[in-house]
Chains A and B, each alone.
Chain A
Amino acid sequence: MLNISNLHASIGDKTILKGLNLEVKAGEVHAIMGPNGSGKSTLANVLSGRPGYEITQGSITYKDKNLIELEPEIRARDGIFLAFQYPVEIPGVSNIYMLKAAYNAKRKHLGLPELDAMDFLVLIREKMKLVEMDEKFIHRSINEGFSGGEKKRNEILQMALLEPDLAILDETDSGLDIDALQIVASGVNQLKSPDRAVILITHYQRLLDYIVPDYVHVLSGGQIVKSGDKSLALELEDKGYGWIKEQNSSSSQVGA
């Protein structure tokens, strides 16, 4: 589904991703962990098409297409969803308006008829139950005055509605208490299917108790420096990232 090869990305004159390789197949869940500032959000942003990044080397193919040349909205309609680490507040645009516009944009892209207001309301109510969100939230401005946890749940609501093929969650679990974390996890678990893939960017292995990843990768210094299964996350929690860094620098010394 997604193939990232030798990806180099920079912002301004700062190179952040330096030769990243990652392959994600349909049906898989990949967890990406790594210290602060290692480039996790950069990767998520580059995949979703956020402006400001320059891709200087490498390639990204998604569903056999060159992802790099697609506009962010086309990527979204074609099934890529990014749950933002820091969702923005948009005063004056109601949640429900955006949700309906987003949903219908995707339907149109897929050649399906748009949903009218009534049918949409039925659908969104069902999705709101899933994230245990009160109906009043969808009539409020997007994220305006929402608590941190409410913002994250709103991201999951959008994900549940749009049913992406590739969901990328950028530290959606950070700052959540256990109840909210379980809501996020169940949102992801309900989405999981043989046709879909998930990339979980996380800081804490706690999330992985609820969403079991097929692979765990460690991102450090703009590269994936180590990959493994779920046990790698436990090891990281135990030993910290210093352990990987040491391993990595000693191995690169060996190589040099």
Chain B
Amino acid sequence: MSNSTQPYITAINSIANELPGNNLSWLQNTRNNALKNFETLGFPNQKNEAWKYTKTNVFGKKQFSLCEKPCVALLKEDISHLRDDQYLNLVFINGYFTPQLSDKNTEEGLILTNLQQMLCDSSETIQPFLSQYSDIKNQSFNALNTAYMNDGSYIKIQNNQVIKKPIQLIYLTTQQSTPAMTQPRNLIIAEPNSQATIIENYATFGESEHFTNSLTEIITQENSSVEHIKIQQECSKAYHIASISTYQHKDSRFTSHSFVFDGKLTRNEINSVFAEEGCECTLNGLYLVSGQQHVDHQTSIEHVKPNGTSKQTYKGILADRSRAVFNGRVKVHKNAQKSFSEQTNDNLLLSEHAEIDTKPQLEIYADDVKCAHGATVGQLNPEEIFYLQARGIGYKNAKELLTVAFANDMINKIKVETLQKMLQQKLSNCCTTEEI
């Protein structure tokens, strides 16, 4: 449709023969369909309601090429700020799985491997799941990711298994000479009664322009529980588009925590479908933006079946001329009686030039439901600043303290202790460096 997509299509076509599993017809079909959809859809424009506040013309202008494999081999020490020996780490550099930086799976009842491996060796086990849960038809970024689908992670937690160690997927982009992109792809299956914590950590080495377009599909089978933590700490020249699609079976629990600390443009989409009764979905988010950064959260929860609970809590701190968008959609279908849904989005504006567009979007077709939503936009309270000053705490320090306090409860929700500490450090760094 539009010429802005053409370079991306050409790039994908040129490597189509090298993509993993290219001998599998089902996979070829999936990729071809996705590419066709991407071509038809083009990059979304602002006439599209879901993209009203977030411009995508940069992707046409910049023409990000596919990232090269890194030429220098990194050592574990080089990424010690991301890796944690207490986790099971799977490391991807420029989108390519890097075994020498990753951990061997030591947990019983867990399959943890890179997607490429699965596509080459046991494609039949993932065929029923891969690309079944995300919207490839209408979402051009999902389509783009699927058309390329080169590597990422495959995680399966087997029946009744509780995985104690957090699993961390590290997606690191190194310095690029020209604007380049990665397309991480994750498939997570939690079998009945299983439980796991999974971290997706996105970071950059250096300060070069790059584009990450990730897609994660999560299936929570009966009575399983998945805690998902996503950290966006790519550099301030990064364009980051991420989509998570969750499909929930009976009595399953899905909790997502999203942290955005950096990036020029960040868009996080989360969709969850309650395919069966008694599901629970908790979405938490914290975004800190300054300068001219732009962050956009789009959530969508489909209460298709009765007795589902969804809770969304998003908080934002906006400094300078930054901008944030929050759109929380909840749809309670006709049969989804006894649904409970609540949603809040609280924002702290540290500058009069910062801007937030927040909107709940409730579509309720059942009658016996409880739904609540609320949004706030505020500044630091001068009474609180003065109280601290009157006790001897300096003005700047008082403001930092109150800014951290606003956000802290989002971090305290993280039960992995080392991660909680790391996030607290990150938060306090952001609050001291930002012009507040």
Contact = CB atoms under 8 A, between A and B. Distances in A.
Interface of A: 48-51, 71-73, 76-77, 81-82, 84, 87-88, 90-93, 97-98, 101-102, 105-106, 109, 141-142, 158, 162
A91 B401 CA distance: 11
A84 B384 CA distance: 12
A121 to B, nearest CB: 18
B301 to A, nearest CB: 27
Interface string B188-229: 000000000000000000000000000000000000000000
A88 B402 contact: no
Nearest to A102: B391
B312 to A, nearest CB: 20
A151 B397 CA distance: 23
B402 A90 contact: yes
B430 to A, nearest CB: 16
A142 B408 CA distance: 15
Given A51-B382, A93-B402, A93-B405, A88 B387 contact: yes
B387 A84 contact: yes
A158 B391 contact: yes
B420 to A, nearest CB: 15
Summarize B's interface: helix, strand, loop or mixed.
helix
A105 B392 contact: yes
Contacts of B389: 49, 71-73, 76
Contacts of B394: 73, 105
A93 B392 CA distance: 15
Nearest to A80: B390
B58 interface: no
Contacts of A142: 387
Contacts of A141: 405
A71 B387 contact: no
17 contacts: A49-B389, A73-B389, A73-B390, A73-B392, A76-B391, A77-B392, A84-B387, A88-B383, A92-B404, A98-B388, A98-B393, A101-B391, A101-B393, A102-B392, A102-B393, A105-B392, A162-B392
Contacts of A72: 386, 389-390
Contacts of B397: 101
A177 B182 CA distance: 67
B48 interface: no
In this complex, which of B386, B392, B394, B398 has the most chain A Cβ atoms within 10 angstroms of its Cβ? Answer: B392
Interface of B: 381-384, 386-395, 397-398, 401-402, 404-406, 408-409
Contacts of A71: 389, 395
A162 B391 contact: yes
A88 B384 contact: yes
A180 to B, nearest CB: 21
A101 B404 CA distance: 15
Contacts of A81: 390
A162 B392 CA distance: 10
B387 A87 contact: yes
A71 B389 CA distance: 8
A141 B387 CA distance: 14
Contacts of A101: 391-393, 397, 401
Contacts of B401: 93, 97-98, 101
A101 B401 CA distance: 10
A105 B392 CA distance: 6
B405 A92 contact: yes
Contacts of A97: 401
Contacts of A77: 392
A82 B398 CA distance: 17
Contacts of B382: 51
10 pairs of A and B residues whose beta carbons are closest in the complex: A92-B405, A76-B392, A102-B391, A105-B392, A72-B389, A93-B405, A73-B389, A77-B392, A102-B392, A88-B383
A88 B405 CA distance: 15
A122 B395 CA distance: 28
Contact of B384 (A49, A51, A90, A109): A90
A106 B387 contact: no
Contact of B391 (A50, A92, A98): A98
B414 to A, nearest CB: 16
A87 B391 CA distance: 12
Contacts of B402: 90, 92-93
Contacts of B406: 92
